[in-house]
Homo-oligomer: A and B are copies of this chain.
Amino acid sequence: MSRTALIVGTGSGISASVARALAGEGYKLALAARRPEKLETLAHETGAKVFAADAVEPDQVTALFSQVDRDFGHIDVVLYNASFRTRGPFLDLNPPDVQRTLMVCAHGGFLVGQEAAKRMVARGSGTILFTGASASVKGYAQSAPFAMGKFALRGLAQSMARELGPKGVHVAHIVIDGSVRGTPSGREAADAVADNLLEPDAIAATYLNLIGQHRSAWSLEVELRPWVERF
């Protein structure tokens, strides 16, 4: 029986590299995004099925998992990679954008995590991964909403790990502590010499290692940063 994985919030950076790495290990893949048309090339490359879903809409998340059930029969790995961010001077932040940041970063993680957990607890195995950020552990100036959303996601991951670990489900939270090559914040850091940004493929290697961990020695949290990063 093939191993299967679902990535929610698939883009062109970390999630694409994880998709390629999983495909390389023989996983059958489902990739979900709000605008799945951008995933055509990646789907072609990895043999993935592509799904349209907004992770903050409970009905769409439920429907997504039902489709994956029908297509794959079971799910071994779920990665929640969706993110949204508003930033700027605290006094200028726009409440609806702040709310959306909380919804996408955290509530969507809950919705996806719960659907994943329902299936994995029933089978007594599976891996649920959450992509965090520097803002998961440190609230920066001019970036309160992202800190709110990413802190919340970390709290979710901790609670899930404590409850679901003894039921055989591995929950892990990866703190990406730096700018990723090819992303907007990566381009901002464009004084970039070679490999002073996080390489998505190098990040993906650690995601794959987490997925492969034996349950006698699971990690809940791992942080990743480039060698030159000040922290």
Give residues in A with beta carbon < 8 Å to B.
58, 89-91, 93, 95, 98-99, 102-103, 106-107, 110-111, 114, 117-118, 121, 135, 138-145, 147-166, 168, 170, 181, 195-199, 201-203, 205-206, 209, 212-231
Contacts and interface: CB of A to CB of B under 8 A. Distances in A.
Q: Tell me what chain A mostly uses at the interface: helix, strand, loop, or mixed.
A: helix
A110 to B, nearest CB: 5
Q: How many copies altogether?
A: 4
B165 A144 contact: no
Contacts of A156: 139, 144, 147-148
A98 B114 CA distance: 11
A172 B206 CA distance: 14
Contact of A225 (B217, B226, B230): B217
Contacts of A135: 155
Nearest to A121: B91
Given A148-B156, A209-B209, A223 B226 contact: no
A86 to B, nearest CB: 11
